[in-house]
Structure 1
Amino acid sequence: MSESAKPVVWGVLGVARIATEKVVPGMLGASNVEVRGIASRDLDKARKAAAALGLAKAYGSYEELLADPEIEAVYNPLPNHLHVPWTIKAMDAGKHVLCEKPIALTAEEAEALVEARGRTGRLVAEAFMVRHHPQWLRAREIARSGEIGELRSVNVLFNYNNTDPANIRNRADIGGGALYDIGCYAVAAARYFFAEEPRSVVALIDRDPAMKTDRLTSGLAEFGGGRQLVFSVSTQTSLYQRVQVLGDRGRVEIQVPFNPVPARASTLVVDDGRDVYGSGVRIEEFPPCDQYGLQGAAFSRAVRGEEALAFPLEDAIANMRVIDALFRSARGGAWETV
């Protein structure tokens, strides 16, 4: 078997639920991926996770996994404040890294990964799995085709209700809160469809009085030419998510944009806007697929040199610059330049 045909051997840093319940199960279905092992600071937890997932190895520390010469690529789902330091440690150990979003807590922190990439020659990318799902690829294709006219607005709603103070998403000291956890998707969505960077942003944040995390964040981003991102994300409202891409002659709606169930078909609404009752709507359906598996397969192809990363490290840093500006705006109560 040629080197390019061999599956990339992966290791996982930590037993986070996103890893054990979504990402790793999805990656196990990709033909060019072999998830070899999983690490935890608690060896018993690592062994239980490895057994449940059918993985060959369990490691009692992150360092032990990084020292394993068989591991070629690492998935990093650690808490947000550990993304950059452990990604750099993995790169220094000779591993390519797929790091969960947000890739850092600030764009300045993320810049350290550029130096590490240059020093080590390892690949690093941010894990926005949605951009690999066929419904997103098709929505962008329609938006760019001119079918819905000139793009004007990307509207994003993404909400869930989690008030557990022990949950990492609710710990302000390690990068919890709505903007880091799910607002990053809204920013990435607008940049994905407009294929440009926003010029300025404004944000309004409501913080939980006890946990101090942003529990409801809404904002605007101005892309020039009358184009805008309009978004609202919350960790303490009713479960809901939608992405609307609006042109001057129609719209595209991704109905379950962020958490489609792999076993269910996905649907895209395309509306020519003839009336508000949906007379001009058509539905496009996509067979069941696992976006985490597609993401892992794409990164593995890049590791083997079969294709370039569609969204390299520079894209992740650009996304963080927008998030930085949104936080500055909320603090200052004014528009901020990105």
Structure 2
Amino acid sequence: MDPPTIAGVVIGCCAGVGLIFCVYSSSSLLGRLIALPRQTCKEKNRNAVRVGILGAANIAPMALIFPARKMEDVVVAAVAARSFKKAQTFAKKYGIETVHENYNDLLDDDSIDVIYNPLPNGMHAFWTIEALKRGKHVLCEKPLASNADEVRAMIKAAAENKPKDGRKEGLLLVEAFHYRFHPLAREISRLVKSGVIGEVSHIEANFEIPWPFPPKSDIRFDMNGSNSELAGGSLMDAGCYAVNVMRLATDGKEPSEISTSKIIESYKGIDQSADAQFDFENGMTARIKCAFRAWGLKVPKLKVEATKFNLYVYNYLAPFVYHRLELTNRETMEKVVQNFYEGGASTYEYQLRAFVGALRGDRASMELCDFAGSPEDALKNMTIIDKIYEKAGLKPRSGKPIETL
């Protein structure tokens, strides 16, 4: 795979963070990215976790396939897609041994331990619940569902069904907010929780994907607004990150009110941008902005104003590409700049290692999965997204109907 292709994968998989200039400005970084597909384990463990992919999604190589190649205890063993031919092509390209005719055949494969679900948002709940019913653990892309009611149904399915592998803790369902598995996110949380920066007064977070991404024919635009069951929109795809990182900086406090919500639709029911402001019971305020096809370079950032220090994070989303954490003393205005590369592993590698560790019963991995992507936290995030839509006079998204609702 050549450098331009890898660069395209990074941009696409990170949803157009606009950091290509950083990639090419660092030869060591570019080398790591180019090496991702080639970092292959010589031999997999006999009891390696076997993962099946629902859909030949563009995110799957960066989020799962490449990290799995670096791990002895994970095998990407099967794939199914809407088109059998597309699944075959995908499997051949990435060395996946089994191709199933359809999604149900994959879910019925007793040799598969885990399902990775990168399908469109509106298909997350339906197919995740189907996987849980068959006793499969699930790593599901964000947002976990189309709305809060769907998340509740997923939590219920995870609790009511037993894992095929007999895991004593039950079925593992994790929302793939990959950035939260990285040491940078844990440091943000530590700084807030410990009181190092003082009492937080205001938070701002954004994720605005630069023009021309995504094209309006993309599933994130519900394919030119033609299929509402895909549950697309900028708030769902990009805004879920901004809401999530805002909540990371609140020390567990949830907004008491959405004071303003401005949403611009590209098609009826499909938002191209969103701008929302929040009030909290303790007087804290927050604001999130998200967009598709935004003009200019708008890297995902987090700004936190507090009584002792102001916290600024440049590129919270894909910190393995490039990031910067700044702490500015409110009294002296002295600034300290930090970064947390720790070997250069991608957020996706941290995520997969934690997921597999949690399956194996590793306590630290289970705690990290709970911190980064528990379904209970997904419910809180989705509840806020639903309310942002409602405040703007719109209905929450809805996906493929599920029987449990």
* TM-score normalised over the length of structure 2: 0.74
Shift in Å, 1:14: 0.3
1:64 is matched with which residue?
Answer: 105
SS at match of 2:217: coil
The amino acid of 2:239's aligned partner reads G
What is the CA–CA distance in structure 2 between the aligned matches of 1:182 and 1:5, rounded to whole Å?
39
- Are 2:51 and 2:115, in contact at CA under 8 Å, matched by a contact in 1? yes
- Are 1:30 and 1:296, in contact at CA under 8 Å, matched by a contact in 2? no
- Are 1:92 and 1:120, in contact at CA under 8 Å, matched by a contact in 2? yes
2:378 is matched with which residue?
Answer: 316
Q: 1:138 aligns with which of 187, 211, 234?
A: 187
Shift in Å, 1:130: 0.9
Shift in Å, 1:55: 2.3
Q: 2:392 aligns with which of 307, 330, 335?
A: 330
2:285 is matched with which residue?
Answer: 228
SS at match of 1:224: coil
SS at match of 1:17: coil
In 2 relative to 1, CA 177–159 (structure 1 residues): closer, same or farther, beyond 3 Å?
Answer: same
In 2 relative to 1, CA 327–265 (structure 1 residues): closer, same or farther, beyond 3 Å?
Answer: closer
Q: Deviation per CA, 1:49-95, whole angstroms, max 9, x where unpaired?
A: 22222222222311121111111011101111111110011111210
1:335 is matched with which residue?
Answer: none
2:175 is matched with which residue?
Answer: 126
Q: 1:79 and 2:120 equivalent?
A: yes
Identity %: 30
Shift in Å, 1:226: 1.8
1:206 is matched with which residue?
Answer: 264
Alignment of 1:94-105 (within 5 A): 94-105=135-146
Runs of 4+ displaced beyond 4 Å: none
The amino acid of 2:275's aligned partner reads S
What is the CA–CA distance in structure 1 between the aligned matches of 2:352 and 2:86, rounded to whole Å?
23
Q: 1:258 and 2:299 equivalent?
A: no
Paired positions, count: 324
Q: 1:92 and 2:92 equivalent?
A: no
SS at match of 1:16: coil
- Are 1:27 and 1:33, in contact at CA under 8 Å, matched by a contact in 2? yes
2:199 is matched with which residue?
Answer: 150
In 2 relative to 1, CA 216–109 (structure 1 residues): closer, same or farther, beyond 3 Å?
Answer: same
The amino acid of 1:259's aligned partner reads A
**Where in structure 1 are there 5+ consecutive unaligned residues?**
333-338
What is the CA–CA distance in structure 2 between the aligned matches of 1:179 and 1:85, rounded to whole Å?
21
SS at match of 1:180: helix
- Structure 1 or 2: more strand by fraction: 1
What is the CA–CA distance in structure 2 between the aligned matches of 1:86 and 1:193, rounded to whole Å?
32
Shift in Å, 1:31: 4.3
Q: 1:186 and 2:245 equivalent?
A: no
What is the CA–CA distance in structure 2 between the aligned matches of 1:246 and 1:49, rounded to whole Å?
46
Q: 2:157 aligns with which of 116, 121, 125?
A: 116
Q: 1:247 and 2:296 equivalent?
A: no
What is the CA–CA distance in structure 1 between the aligned matches of 2:269 and 2:148, rounded to whole Å?
22
The amino acid of 1:187's aligned partner reads V
